[in-house]
Copies of this chain bind each other. A is one copy, B any other.
Amino acid sequence: MIKTPGTMNSVSRMRHKENKSIGFVPTMGCLHEGHLSLVRKAKVECDVVVLSIFVNPIQFGPREDFKRYPRYPSKDKMLARREGVDYIFMPAPPVMYPENFQTCVLPGKLSSGLSGAARPGHFKGVCTVVAKLFNIVEPDTAYFGQKDFQQAQVVKQMIKDLNMNVGVKILPIVREPDGLAMSSRNRYLNDSERKEVPVLYESLREAKRLIRDGCRNTGKIKKTIKKTINTAKYVNIEYIKLLNPDTLEPVDKNDKKFLVVIAARVGKVRLIDNVIVS
């Protein structure tokens, strides 16, 4: 358990001196199987695994769930230890954002649509904290989940644009047995909502089937998704998009890969999910 950037960086530098590779899993805590799948991959690929737990205030909007975001540090520590995490980096917000903090990392057009449109400033907050964490941990490889697909793309672009010396691995979405994508926010759902939300993945599987069957009519695909989701009473669609997974631009008929991405509001909860069809 490390709480200050200075100590974390010293430890990382020491391990690098020993020629150890460092794998890094940045999280906001409330660890679930999605996070743990990242840790397991990092354990296989790297000598040392660092997991950070930091609920990053600057990536939440003023009317978002920063304060009530679930925090379970003891359970997280237990899970991280059980998976063989070597260091947990868990700084307090004033350590990361002291008085007079003012420099941010500003992402570009990849961040403007989708969740970036729904959550202004969100990806600026994400890029800023990830840049800080990369400088503190100096990892060889960082691990992200595909659930936050746009986040992963925005971070990859930041690394490229700012010449950061960090490799990125994006790992598949881990799901509950009924298909719901794992997310710390799932615990906000009440029983009736929880029963309905598997409809999101169900609709994505239908889209996948349609595309694999040769359908390239994005209007038709969206309509199918919408119809399925609308069978659920509490699930309100925010967007359904068919995109090129590299550019996040609307798919072209000649694209070989389709990213189908959806966001929905369920009560006050915002859920996202996606599939890539190739």
Chain A residues within CB distance 8 Å of chain B: 5, 9, 100-110, 124, 127-128, 131-132, 135-136, 138, 157-158, 161-165
Contact = CB atoms under 8 A, between A and B. Distances in A.
Contact of A103 (B9, B103, B106, B136): B106
8 contacts: A102-B108, A103-B162, A104-B106, A105-B162, A135-B162, A135-B163, A135-B165, A138-B165
For this chain, the copies found in one complex come to: 2
A229 B107 CA distance: 43
A96 to B, nearest CB: 9
A132 B131 CA distance: 12
A215 B163 CA distance: 49
A9 B132 CA distance: 20
A9, A103, A105 — most chain B CB neighbours (10 Å): A103
A100 B107 CA distance: 12
A103 B105 contact: yes
Contacts of A131: 162
Contacts of A105: 103-106, 162
Contacts of A132: 161-163
Nearest to A110: B102
Contacts of A104: 105-106, 108, 161
Contacts of A124: 106
Nearest to A161: B103
Nearest to A12: B165
Nearest to A96: B163
Contacts of A128: 162
A195 B105 CA distance: 43
Nearest to A103: B161
A161 B102 contact: yes
Given A102-B157, A127-B103, A158-B103, A9 B165 contact: yes
